[in-house]
Structures are given as structure tokens and as C-alpha cells.
Structure 1
């Protein structure tokens, strides 16, 4: 069943990285200024509401809109965990800590993913699609943590991850440079 493009992606507690990425693009598509509020934080008024300028009011409205979108995407359990937050950034950051952990935990996860990337090899009994799906998962998880791997490095890793039985195909791939033309589309 397809989801409406007007409703934010619903988060039920599973596949946080997938939801986070979709939610980021949903918010950006609604209004890029909303994403600035989520990412950088809201305007914090130091004066009473009656003293706000038109610009102050606009910033507060953006925070409320971003909060509304995020709250509409959360199930009751997760809403209860963040409902006391007053800014969209505060909600976003709290969800990140709940699902990705603190910075120390993130660094550990990144380290484990980098180790998995470095040790990645195609199993001789594995088909190329399964191998590539797993490789893409590792690369996209690293990307989700802000770890970008240059395209040429990804291509070399893929080629050298193939087993010995693929040696003749490796040479053909390298000479044809077929992968480099298609890698951006394959990794999404």
C-alpha cells in the first residue's frame, strides 16, 4: 500500500535509520526552512510574545510546523517520550539518542561498520545480487552516520571483494569501467 506524499512517514519503532532519512527529505520537501529549524535549532524568544517582531513570529511558526510534522509521524509510545520537548531540534536529537545512542555509542557503531566494510568479501557460494545488497547496506549505514566513502574507493572495494573464481570477470570490469558509470544509481 502506497503512502500519501502529504503525510509524513510513520515511525513505529523499527528501522529508525530508514525512517530518519525519509523524514529528513519529507521535511525538506515541505519547506527547506523547516529543516534548518530541525537541524540548527529554533529561534528562542527572550522577550514576551507581544514584543516579537514579524521575523521572530515567523521563526516560531517554523518551529511549530516542524514539531507538528514530527509529532504526526510518531506513534503513541514515541510521542510520549518526546512530547515535553519544545523545539523540533530537541525532539530530533532525543530520537537520535534513543535510537542511535550517544556520540560514544555512534563512534563504536561507526567503528564496527568500518571494520565490516574493510573485511567485506563475497562468499564463494553467494550470488552477486546478495553480495551487492549487503555491500550497499554497509555503505548506506555508514553514510547514515555521516561517513562518506569516495566512489573510486567503493568501486575498488567491490572489485577486490570478488572471489578468485571471478578473476577473468574482474579484469573485464576494470577494463570496461562499467561499474563506475552505474555505481551512483546502484547505491542510491
Structure 2
């Protein structure tokens, strides 16, 4: 670098040095963003699968089931994937165990 300083002078050396630092920073930001995008896509995929295959567990009460469902929905919303309310209600009702069938029928009617 000392040879560059002597050949170009202080102003040119600083400009080249600044360019190299900015390029390094840009390259690191670009790699970080790409990694973040891939991680985000993975999160969306996992939460979408969780939503698609959501079923209430027999040992879960309504509150726990609702919390689990809302956690999934809120995670998807935060990542930009939003389902219509009507679809989410239907998904939740269809995920209830069979002993809720009479109540689900009444709600649907």
C-alpha cells in the first residue's frame, strides 16, 4: 500500500482505500441479505406447513390450541403471508377433535 501512496498521492490513495472499504462492506451486506432471504423463505415454508397440517391435539384445551394457531398465523403475517379470515376460521374449526363436531356444526350454521 505504501507504493500506492507514493505513486498516487494522499488524495488518490484515500479515494482508492475508501472505495475498497465500501466495496467490502457492500459485499458483506449482500451476502448477509441473501442469507436472510433464504432463512426467511425457510421460515415461511415451515410456518406454511404448520398452518396447512394444523390439528388440535387431544390433550390441548381451546386456549392452548388457539395460542398455537395464532402463533403460526402471526409468524406468517410478520413474514408477509396473510390468509383471509374466513379461511382461518374454517381451518381452525376443521382442526378440532371429533368430540367438538356438534359445536362446530352449530357455529357453521
Q: TM-score range by the shorter chain?
A: 0.5 to 0.7
Q: Which has the larger radius of gyration?
A: 2
1:144 aligns to what? Answer: 78
Query: 2:47 matched to 1:124?
Result: no
- Cα distance per residue 1:61-98 (max 9 Å; x no partner): xxxxxxxxxxxxxxxxxxxxxxxxxxxxxxxxx8xx69
1:85 aligns to what? Answer: none
- Cα distance per residue 1:126-165 (max 9 Å; x no partner): 1000000110000000000000111111011000000111
Residue aligned with 1:171, SS: helix
Match of 2:39 among 105, 110, 125: 105
Residue aligned with 1:102, SS: helix
What stretches of structure 2 of length at least 5 have no aligned partner? 1-28
What stretches of structure 1 of length at least 5 have no aligned partner? 1-93, 176-188
Output the CA distance in 2 between the equivalents of 1:172 and 1:130. Answer: 22
Runs of 4+ in 1 over 4 A off after TM superposition: none
1:9 aligns to what? Answer: none
Residue aligned with 2:96, SS: coil
- Write 1 or 2 for the structure with the bigger share of helix: 2
- The TM-score normalised by the length of structure 1 is 0.40
1:18 aligns to what? Answer: none
Please show how residues 155-170 of structure 1 align to structure 2 within 5 Å: 155-170=89-104
Q: Tell me how large the CA RMSD over aligned residues is.
A: 1.6
How much does 1:105 deviate? Answer: 1.3
- The TM-score normalised by the length of structure 2 is 0.67
